[in-house]
Amino acid sequence: MEYLSNRQIVLAEELSGRLAERHFAVRVTPVRNRLPDEVLIRVIFAQVPPAARAVMTTTTPFPRTLPGDGIFTAVVGEVVDAPQGGPPPAAIVTCFGGWEQYTLAPVSQVREVPARQRLYEHLGLLGLNGLTAYFGVSSVGRADSGETVVVSAAAGGVGHLAGQIAQIAGARVIGITGSDAKNRLLVNELGFAAAVNRRSDTFTRELRDLCGNGIDVYFDNTGGPVLDTVLPLMAPYGRIVCCGATATYDSADDAVRAPGPRGIPQLVINNRLVIEGLLTSDFLDEWPAALERLARWAAEEQLVALTDLRDGLDAAPAALVAMLAGDNLGQMVVRIGPDPQPS
Ligand SMILES: NC(=O)c1ccc[n+]([C@@H]2O[C@H](COP(=O)([O-])OP(=O)(O)OC[C@H]3O[C@@H](n4cnc5c(N)ncnc54)[C@H](OP(=O)(O)O)[C@@H]3O)[C@@H](O)[C@H]2O)c1
């Protein structure tokens, strides 16, 4: 194997306070020899996930990122070398990797995907976030026709897809975001019935007025104060899908980071609510059917995927910092390498 050097972004120091670009460093090392069961992948696009921030400090099912470690994320790329029986050289694959030019991953965790014009869609619409939106709305939230569904971080990677999937199920969908411009887009271009700004002084009143008969399904991407606001507005037998807790990942405020929300258990008892955690990996057997359905909805233009594409490995830290401040529209992705040469 020819000599390859790997440029990667690592966590430079223990976090104190909110995440900033200074917490990251660039490291260049030789690509190590692959173990017999590993696939060597040239990374083309990497996701910018809020979970990358969560694993720097909070408890998640994933290993903690320590100073010197690479950044936890999903990637799509091209196979350079793989064991017998694995994907062939030049196949397009996704896996968990890092913000780096080359990733080594166990063959059992590498998924071959079709080559398509916009490869980054394997990280959004046809990747973990699309699947999360799909299973959160259909299997956990069980959103149904005529119901009121509220989605937080509704213009984000998971949220804008979850809101549209709930509309396909026939629900009336209300988005929550941190910006009026995002809200206009959700209503004018993605068919949301309404959208409210979580930063507005009138946020609670507006949401209450829009949900007069209560909220049947709350797709919660944020936790924190937004969940506190939504909980008392739930309808009897409502379902809360706990997908993510972005509000707590990077907060300097102990009250926000503390486990919540307020109102448990009484509000849950009063309204016979179900609050259920979602881990998309639980639905592995159903991924192929879900991916087929997501692709079909997109082809039929029932589902519009928004991508916030940033250019270059070095742009990744700033992209994550921006996302945690709400400065992303749709799925945030960075391009790390060029598309494969046409054969
Ligand atoms: N359970 C699973 O299997 C699974 C799988 C994938 C992702 N997730 C989770 O899904 C969630 C969404 O992920 P994503 O990649 O699509 O990210 P995203 O929603 O595109 O980006 C994060 C968004 O969170 C909002 N936000 C940031 N700080 C906030 C705060 N303090 N309070 C309320 N909202 C805040 C911002 O939107 P606004 O400013 O517009 O509100 C920001 O754009 C994350 O929590 C992620 O961890 C879960």
| CA-nearest residue, atom 24 of ligand 1 | 153
Task: Return the ligand 1 atom nearest residue 331 CA.
Answer: 20
Containing 298, the helix (H) or strand (E) segment is helix 287-299
pLDDT of residue 2: 76
pLDDT of residue 262: 82
pLDDT of residue 53: 94
**Residue in 88, 54, 90, 85 with CA at minimum distance from that of residue 71:** 54
Q: What is the pLDDT of residues 253-288, one digit of tens each?
A: 666 667 678 889 999 999 999 999 999 999 999 999
Task: Return the ligand 1 atom nearest residue 244 CA.
Answer: 45
pLDDT of residue 334: 98
Residues of the chain scoring pLDDT < 50: none
pLDDT of residue 16: 76
pLDDT of residue 160: 98
| CA-nearest residue, atom 32 of ligand 1 | 247
Distance 222 CA to ligand 1 centre (A): 6
Distance 49 CA to ligand 1 centre (A): 8
pTM attached to this predicted model = 0.96
Distance 75 CA to ligand 1 centre (A): 18
pLDDT of residue 72: 86
Q: How far apart are CA 259 and CA 305, in angstroms?
A: 32
Strands 172-177 and 102-106: unpaired
Query: Other C-beta atoms within 10 Å of 269: how many?
Result: 9
Find the residues whose C-beta lies inside 6 A of ligand 1: 49-51, 128-129, 132, 153, 155-159, 177-179, 182, 198, 221-222, 224, 226, 243-247, 278-280, 323-324, 326, 328, 332
